[in-house]
Structure formats: C-alpha cells, structure tokens
Structure 1
Amino acid sequence: TKYTPRARDGNGPVLINAQRIGQDPRFAAEPNTSLLEDTEYGKLPILGEDGSRPMDQYARPWSGARGTRIAIVVGGLGLSQTGTQRAIQQLPSGVTLGLAASGNSLQRWMQEARRAGHEILIQVPFEPYDYPANDPGPGTLLVKDPAAKNLERLHVAMGEITNYTGIMNYQGGRYLSDVKALEPVLRDMASRGLLFLDDGTSAQSKTEVLAKAMQLPHAFGDLTLDGQLQSDAILKKLDELERIAQRKGTAIGIASAFDESIAAIRKWADEASQRGVEIVGVSTLARESVAP
C-alpha cells in the first residue's frame, strides 16, 4: 500500500512510497543534522545522502484518506510576540505556520510550533510592483540585483531557523513575475529538497512553469482569508475555501496571525472536521505537484 495501513492520529512519522514522512513528535523541535550544512549564513537545509528531503522530514503526516483536504497557512509569525504565541497555542495543529524571516526569537517559536505539531515554512520577502514605496522589509529579494546577491539574501533568511518544509513568499508580485530573477532562487530550493508556496496573490507569477520544469514541489494559495479583518468576513472566506476544496479535492487558504484570523480559523476547523474535511500540512499538497 502507498500509505501506512493503519489508523493514524496525526502524529508520528508515516511511510509514503517507502519514504519516511514526518518526525517523532517527541523530537519534532530537533533538526536532523544529516539534512543540514554549515555555511556562513548558518545551518542550511540540504538533501540527505540517501536522497531524503527536509520537506519530508519536517512534514506533518496525514491520514492518507482521499477526502476533502485543505491546507491553511498562517504567516507573519515572529513579528508580534503575543500574536505568535496565540497562533501556536490556539490554532489546530494541522495548520501550517509561516515564520517571517525578519521576525524575532524565531528559533524559540520554531521549537514551540514544532512541539505543538505544526508544519512550518520560512516567509521570505520578495519585491512587489510598487517597491520601494511599499517595502517588504530587510533582506527583500530585488529584480535588479544579480542572482548571487538574491541567493545570499535567501540563504540569510533560510539560516534563521531549521525544521521547515519550505519557503513562502511575502509580497513579491514583481519578483515572482520575472523568470530571470526567479529561476535561480527556485532552483536553489529544489536542490535542497524544499517546497515553495506561492501565496497566489500575483496573477503574473511564473512559479508554476518554472517549478514544474525543475521538479520543485510547489503549491498556490487559492484564497487570502483575512483581507477584511472581521470575524464574519473571514468565516465566509473559509466557507468559500471549503467549497473550492469540495470541487477540486484540495484547497489552500492564506492568512496572517491576527487575533480575528486565529479565532475564525479555530472555529471553522472544529466544524469542518465534523463535515469530513481534513486539514493537512501544505507539504502534503505540494508533494502531489511533482508526483509521477
């Protein structure tokens, strides 16, 4: 069988196509040192000698059932201490958390999030169309700069923490639409066994064509859930996301770690599970983007 032939509780590693997916939850905050290299930017993820990938090592296992599957990704962790703490403690453990590369105490938050069962991504700032009037922050990857400079910025961000399955963009409409700028960055992620989550906000994004060509596991946000920061509006977006997933089989919703977002996602998740919806880590859906 493709998946472990037993009932699962959402914790612990699972075998998928003979690959070990996930970590023992007792050690989920500890990195697998065989999947790290020491660099001037800190410890960066690499493929294991046996071909094992950080994306699989740090993934949240799922049931293997082919019902309605939804990934919810809540970004911006590390920017507000109270917001970060609330997200880790109150969101269902199936929710994927995005830690902002420019955030504070990221190692601590990574460890707390992993112990709570969350899959995590590192959120990297990319150049938007209206830069510099709209500046995503320090370390933003810029179209005009050489590839080596942007790879350095990417590696600085990646070196902030360990135990993540991949990279998620923060802004980046202009950067993600530029093939020449984007290609070396995605190729670096692919070579390290990571995934890339495109938040889906840029209609001109070249992520898909490039990622498919280089067999980079990737995924796209279907909806931004908290464009309007009222609980009722967020719940309506979550219902819309569920309808998308019922139609397609899967869907991905993107939110930020605002109090209203956390409360709405928590409320919706309780009810959605009773309707047979499974909340999965984003790696589950990204893995299928390059499935044979």
Structure 2
Amino acid sequence: MLLLVHATPDDLVTPLGQGRPARRGASVRLPVARLAAGVAALAFGGLALHVALVDDPLGGEPHVIVPIVRAPVAVAQASEPAEGRQGAETAPGLRTRSTAAELEGEAGVAVVRPEGQAPGAIVIRVPDQATVRLAPAPDRRLVERTRFGLLPRIGADGARPAEVYARPAGTLPGGARPAGRIAVVVGGLGIGQNATAEAIARLPGPVTLAFAPYGGNLDAHVARARDEGHEVMLQVPMEPFDYPDNDPGPHTLLAQAKIPDNLERLRWVMGRFTGYTGLVNFMGAKLTADEAALAPVLREVGERGLFFLDDGSSSRSSVATVAPAAKVSAARADVVLDGLGRAEAIDAELARAEKLARERGLAIVSASALPIAVERIARWASDLEAKGILLVPASAAVGSRPRG
C-alpha cells in the first residue's frame, strides 16, 4: 500500500517542535508551599545542630556550670639574694614558681642530695627552732684583699676572727653546771660532696667542722655549715714523714722549705674561703716535729687573730712547745678517731673522752668525716646532755687569745 504525505517547504526546513503557535492560557505552576516548608526545615535543623555541637558541647545533656576561682596565696620571701631566684612575680607577695632552694628556705629544712644524680634516698633535716645563728662572714673588718684572695686579719678595733666567727659555748638545760665539756672537730670536709652534705646535716651544731682547701664549691659548703650553726676551721696540709709517698696535696708546707715559701703556701690555703676561727693540721708529723719550721707558721696564725689545733695524730708534735713563743692560742686533741673502722672501737674512744672530760673538765676529740664516724658521733652526742656533759665548739676549748 502506498502512503502519500503532503509537505510544504516550511515543514522541511523548520526544526521539530518550533514554529508552532503557542497555546493561549497555558502556564507553569511551582510547588511553592512545599519549597518553603523544606527551606524552613533545613534552617531549623542547622540551628539545632549548631546549638548541640557548638554552644553546648554536652549535646543537650543536663549539666551545671560552676566557676573555679584561684585564690591568691602569699609566699614568704626567701632569705637568698634576689638574683638567685627564678620565676616571674605576678603581684606583690605572689609568685607563680619557686626554686628548690627557695622552698627549702621557706620551709626551714635542709635536703641532702648526691651531686649530679637522682638519689635513691635523701636526708631531710628539720632544724631546731633554737638553731644558733653565727656572725655573717666575711666581716669586712676582718679581711684583707691579697693576690691569694681574702685573708683573715685582726680588725682595727681589735676584733679577732677566732672570736667574731665563733659559735657561743652554750649551756645545759636549766643552766645546770656541766660535769665536763667536750669539743669535737670533724675534718676532711669539702672534698667529697655527699660526705660533706651528710656531715653538715647529721652532726649537731656544737660539733666543729674542718674543711680541706681543695674541694670545689667550698664557699657554698662552708656557708651551709655555718647556717646550720657549725663553727668551721681550715685544714692546712703539712709534710708527713713519708712524704711524697704520702702526699697531703698541693701547697703542702714542708719542713725543709724556706720560710717565705712556706708562708706563701700557707696564705694560699688561708685564701680559699672565709669565716673560719682557726687552723688544724692535715697530716704534718714531720713539720710539726720541726720547731724551726713550725714557729713561723704558728706566728702567722696568731698574728691573723686565729688559733691552732693539733689534731693529736703525731706523738712527736712540738705545737705545745712552740705556741707560747709564737704568741698563738693552741691546743692538742686528746682522743683521735681516725683509723677506727669499727663502731665498737669508735664508741669506746668516745666513752674515754667522757671520762677525760669528767676528770679534767675538758676533752678534745678529732675525727675524719667517714660515714661510720659521723653516724657514731651523732648517736653518741644525742645522749650527752642527759649525762651532764656539755658539747662545745673548738673555740671554747682552745680559746682565741694566747695565754701569758
């Protein structure tokens, strides 16, 4: 079957769907109500999400907000100089950070720590409220500036270091008359950091501490000892008979040295720190046995307002013979604890010191700062008052002015 379609020229060249006359009355209708409702729902949901996640981190869970106010705490000023403090000041009397030294000073305790490492244990000493305060050192009246440092001297007003830097002798409780007095001098301090700190912390204040001239940070150790009420002395290296096999150290005073050379060595030793009341020999059996070599040394000691203690280690010492002519106050230790490594032997010698003190009225004990000696002396000293015996500093036992 054949179908014929009649097409005009316009039908062939005009794209489909165009060119047709629009129908009148036709219009596009949008769902306005639905769109408005959707926009409103989206806005409400966004607002709810913002409130839940931003304005309320708890997501709408019931909660209470309580303000926390930090109350200012007044911190007592530490006794150390301002340049040694750390931490910013936020207000007068209020600090946000304190150093360990400040905390110790404010709490009134002394903490002993091994040098340069965290210890397994530390010794904390809470001082007695009646801790004796010694005169500040150095006293400008009592020092002269030299190439060796500050050396002690007698002041223009006659004041002597042996008197100004001394610890008061004290009394027994109630003012009772003592049955005897004992002075204990513990030497060898300033070299071993831990041994020095432990001796300062554990030994009672009346025990005199003698420092060797070779240790590091001597000024700090001596200052701490004096802060704890300990009178301090200076150990002078002197020649023993077996020198140099047994060597006391640099600047040792020698029996055959020229007098100016020995005095120069002595002045180097005396310039190591200040605040000491007297000198005590470190070794020195050969030099103390030589009167010609010893006399200029003791004379120098006396002219500087100091006293001299013979540690009692040599039976050949001539200190007692030379001291009067050298015009220096001097004495000799009665009991020597050096070389005693057992607690029973140390206790026996301390008991002998008690016996001597009762018989003579006074006894002097010398010892080195070995741990066992420090422990036994501290234990022994705690019972002395109950026995009616008074523990006194070396200056009270030796005296500060020459006799005669």
TM-score (norm 2): 0.65
- Please name the residue that 1:22 is paired with: none
Instruction: State the Cα distance separating 1:289 from its structure 2 match.
Output: 7.7
C-alpha distance in 1 between matches for 2:370 and 2:274: 24
Instruction: State the Cα distance separating 1:226 from its structure 2 match.
Output: 3.8
Whether 2:209 is the aligned partner of 1:97: answer yes
- Please name the residue that 2:86 is paired with: none
Matches within 5 A, 1:116-265: 116-265=228-377
Equivalent of 2:189, from 60, 77, 97? 77
- Please name the residue that 2:151 is paired with: 44
SS at match of 2:240: coil
Whether 2:145 is the aligned partner of 1:61: answer no
Instruction: State the Cα distance separating 1:46 from its structure 2 match.
Output: 0.3
Instruction: State the Cα distance separating 1:10 from its structure 2 match.
Output: 7.6
C-alpha distance in 2 between matches for 1:226 and 1:142: 23
C-alpha distance in 1 between matches for 2:250 and 2:259: 17
Structure 2, unaligned runs of 5 or more:
1-128, 172-176
Greater relative contact order (Cα 8 A, min sep 6): structure 1 or 2? Answer: 1
Instruction: State the Cα distance separating 1:181 from its structure 2 match.
Output: 0.7
Instruction: State the Cα distance separating 1:30 from its structure 2 match.
Output: 2.8
C-alpha distance in 2 between matches for 1:289 and 1:114: 22
Count how many residue pairs are aligned between Structure 1 and Structure 2: 271
SS at match of 2:206: coil
SS at match of 1:188: helix
Given that residues 299 and 327 in structure 2 are in contact (C-alpha distance below 8 angstroms), is that contact kept between their aligned partners in structure 1? no
C-alpha distance in 1 between matches for 2:285 and 2:247: 12
C-alpha distance in 1 between matches for 2:288 and 2:328: 15
- Please name the residue that 2:118 is paired with: none
Equivalent of 2:393, from 270, 281, 289? 281
Q: In the TM superposition, what whole-angstrom CA distance separates every residue of 1:235-257 from its partner, at most 9, and x where no partner exists?
A: 11111111111111101111111
SS at match of 1:137: coil
C-alpha distance in 2 between matches for 1:276 and 1:243: 12
- Please name the residue that 2:223 is paired with: 111
SS at match of 1:97: strand
C-alpha distance in 2 between matches for 1:217 and 1:76: 23
Question: What is the aligned-residue RMSD (CA, Å)?
Answer: 1.7
Structure 1, unaligned runs of 5 or more:
1-8, 13-24
- Please name the residue that 1:3 is paired with: none
C-alpha distance in 1 between matches for 2:243 and 2:340: 23
C-alpha distance in 2 between matches for 1:50 and 1:10: 30
Instruction: State the Cα distance separating 1:288 from its structure 2 match.
Output: 7.5
C-alpha distance in 1 between matches for 2:154 and 2:263: 18
Instruction: State the Cα distance separating 1:139 from its structure 2 match.
Output: 1.2
Q: Give the direction of change, closer, same or farther, for the CA distance of 1:48–1:289 in structure 2 (3 Å limit).
A: closer
Letter of the 1:164 partner, please give it: Y
Q: In the TM superposition, what whole-angstrom CA distance separates every residue of 1:162-189 from its partner, at most 9, and x where no partner exists?
A: 0000110001000001111111110000
Given that residues 29 and 112 in structure 1 are in contact (C-alpha distance below 8 angstroms), is that contact kept between their aligned partners in structure 2? no
Letter of the 1:176 partner, please give it: T
Range moving further from structure 2, 109-118 or 99-108 = 99-108
Instruction: State the Cα distance separating 1:141 from its structure 2 match.
Output: 0.5
Letter of the 1:86 partner, please give it: E
C-alpha distance in 2 between matches for 1:238 and 1:68: 13
TM-score (norm 1): 0.89
- Please name the residue that 1:35 is paired with: 142
C-alpha distance in 2 between matches for 1:149 and 1:141: 8
Q: In the TM superposition, what whole-angstrom CA distance separates every residue of 1:119-171 from its partner, at most 9, and x where no partner exists?
A: 11000110001111111111111111101111111111110000000110001
Instruction: State the Cα distance separating 1:66 from its structure 2 match.
Output: 5.7
C-alpha distance in 2 between matches for 1:291 and 1:202: 24
SS at match of 1:154: helix
**Which structure shows the higher strand fraction?**
1
Given that residues 10 and 61 in structure 1 are in contact (C-alpha distance below 8 angstroms), is that contact kept between their aligned partners in structure 2? no
C-alpha distance in 2 between matches for 1:56 and 1:48: 11
